[in-house]
A and B are shown apart, each in its own frame.
Chain A
């Protein structure tokens, strides 16, 4: 019995934390977004040194051969540092899609390139969760037609994995004819998402797609976004506690007032169990598949709620300073906001969790 991170996973976390402290301090994040970019080439290169593009790529294809729980460890660290790097889709969901549904030839073609960082995937799954503004993708005779919104890690992508309306996965190269890509800037400038419009574009189906892979990918994405929130929210609490220990009013540090102290205690009390929930959801994905979908829903919806509470409360602890760009707390606030909505906000995800258990939450 050992619930928690292994010594190797703790070392991984330390290594990523150290690397991000060196290569991705807040000043660097500011520079990246100030030039209108959502991706730091320097941080991408540094993470590649650790082999992270291949974190879930099997070793025979040149990767680290690790699981979702290991990826969660990295996602927490990236969230804590608001690191402007593609990770969730490019380094985890794309190789997972190939692992789950790719033919041996597709795996041999793409997985080594993902591991070495030379294939840059964006992944479009949003329409499986909620379709807006007429979005959706239909497949017909090896071509795709339609629009995918909020394609993850897509700004500098050279290939895409997209789910169609039946939940089948397709692979599209970025240089295909009749493909149009438009970036969608969100409040969170550390993430690169966009809109993919395909007008009868040649697409390659996944050779081994039994139809479940897309739902598993959504689950993995949810767990990773939840982990990102845990990391971000944890960083916000640490900042709030530190600020409350320095800022003086009425002749004493504000952290000694119970009104302020209790805000911090409530944040910590609500966030701490989320960490275990997210770890378990990742563990279930890796080894208890029958629980994977429901636990991913729980992790996503619950951290979404707690994340919002922490983002708001930690900002309030900083008083007026929390509201300024000078302090930069808003990078975490917005990152948590992104994590909450993408691949389904809490209400949508809870409805799905109910359906998974045979409860017809839409009947009323």
Chain B
């Protein structure tokens, strides 16, 4: 066991710390994951791109820094921005999910055209995967694309398209091969959200906000070269992207930050004059969560070492999304319990704490438990891929998905 990074990496860390200290006044206040980046965020992103503190390993030709992939360097960057409480550049679905997918499976032309402006925050993307009838069974999607005069003509509906209302572009799964078996009939298209025939309706959630949208396509025409991968290979392309999303949702440093905020809250909030932290029952729950967060942190270090050695993450990796999302939800739940009635205050109420963010998190994190593969789907994956358990036999008479009529 050796948890040091070595002098070379520590020198890099010192350099980064000095950079953050000198420039943090230029950083935008909030990262604003689901919002269109403001001018300050775009300028901050540009500064980080120039110094290689974001998009570090993306080739220079595509707007990145062109450094050799180095897991420890990436880790140090993530650690230092998190420790300083400064956003580490833009983090959105385009950068986290589409860019890695294009790098892996896009054509040279697609990489040149889309990656650099996405990294600079000039293009905002949304993801068109789920449909009302295709959630956990994503491959049952029915949004259709028929080829006509060098164009795909798209008809159907997507749901849970976060940022669709402000997105410039969408990466979208459509059924191009109406007669193929369900997984083999899907293609991955990218197209402009300004294309005629697209309608975006905000989807209000239990939080009271519209974090998502429903997106409708009526005879939307897209040039056939805006496909990533081959026709009928969209399922494989999408699975590459889903892997990145699960990585994004299961970040143990985020758990540590939430826990630290909870500890602070329980120092500040008093019940009958006694700090929440000194209440035996509440404190017992806090320490239990503290132990679980520590376990996930060290699980993360173990995965980091595995990838340094080129070893597969195995079970330790497969469980991250399930455990992290659940743990994050429990942290918010304890915060609300520690506040008691005050924990109910919301929507800008008098006496509201932290802008109602604990309640918002408590609700939104339930969405994260469901999104990106529900907890139940995660358990299937853990059991089947991690423990080698048999798949549920397929029903003989299960209906094949039918493409949306054009």
Chain A positions within 8 Å of B, measured between CB atoms, are: 1-6, 69, 237, 241, 244-245, 252-253, 255-258, 261-262, 264-266, 268-270, 272-277, 279-280, 283, 287, 295, 297-299, 301-302, 305, 346-347, 350-351, 353-354, 359-364
Contact = CB atoms under 8 A, between A and B. Distances in A.
A24 B307 CA distance: 36
Contacts of B206: none
Contact of A244 (B288, B295, B389): B389
Given A244-B389, A262-B376, A272-B316, A3 B291 contact: no
Interface in B251-290: 274, 277-281, 283-284, 286-288, 290
B3 A241 contact: no
Given A1-B304, A301-B291, A354-B283, A273 B376 contact: no
Contacts of B150: none
Contact of B298 (A241, A252, A256, A277): A277
B380 interface: yes
Given A268-B386, A350-B287, A363-B274, A3 B298 contact: yes
B308 A361 contact: no
Nearest to B311: A4
B180 interface: no
Interface in B315-357: 315-316, 319, 322-323
> Which 10 residue pairs across A and B have the least CB separation, nearest first?
A276-B298, A273-B295, A298-B291, A265-B379, A3-B301, A277-B295, A302-B291, A265-B382, A261-B383, A269-B319
A354 B276 CA distance: 12
Interface in B1-53: 1-6
Given A3-B305, A261-B389, A305-B288, A269 B283 contact: no
A258 B298 contact: no
Given A252-B393, A273-B296, A276-B295, A359 B1 contact: no
Contact of B390 (A255, A280, A347, A354): A255
A264 B299 contact: no
Interface string B351-394: 00000000000000000000000001011101110111111110
A339 to B, nearest CB: 15
Q: Is the contact region of chain B dominated by helix, strand, or loop, or is it mixed?
A: helix
B382 A364 contact: no
Nearest to A238: B387
B389 A272 contact: no
B302 interface: yes
A3 B304 contact: yes
Contact of B280 (A245, A273, A302, A364): A364
Kindly name the residue among B6, B283, B291, B301 whose own CB sees the greatest number of chain A CB atoms within 10 A. B291
B278 to A, nearest CB: 4
A275 to B, nearest CB: 8
A262 B280 contact: no
Contacts of A272: 299, 315-316, 319
Contacts of B290: 298, 353
Nearest to B294: A298
B393 A256 contact: yes
A47 to B, nearest CB: 24
Given A3-B298, A69-B1, A256-B392, A350 B284 contact: yes
28 contacts: A1-B72, A1-B301, A3-B3, A3-B305, A241-B388, A241-B389, A244-B389, A253-B390, A255-B383, A256-B390, A256-B392, A256-B393, A265-B379, A266-B379, A268-B382, A268-B386, A268-B387, A272-B316, A273-B292, A274-B295, A277-B294, A280-B298, A283-B3, A353-B290, A354-B284, A354-B287, A359-B277, A364-B278
B304 A364 contact: no
B301 to A, nearest CB: 4
B88 to A, nearest CB: 20
Contact of B392 (A258, A273, A295, A298): A258
A262 B377 CA distance: 9
A258 B1 contact: no
Contact of A1 (B5, B281, B291, B390): B5
Kindly name the residue among B277, B296, B380 whose own CB sees the greatest number of chain A CB atoms within 10 A. B277
A276 B302 contact: yes
B217 to A, nearest CB: 34
Kindly name the residue among B283, B295, B382, B393 whose own CB sees the greatest number of chain A CB atoms within 10 A. B295
Contacts of A269: 319, 322-323, 379, 382
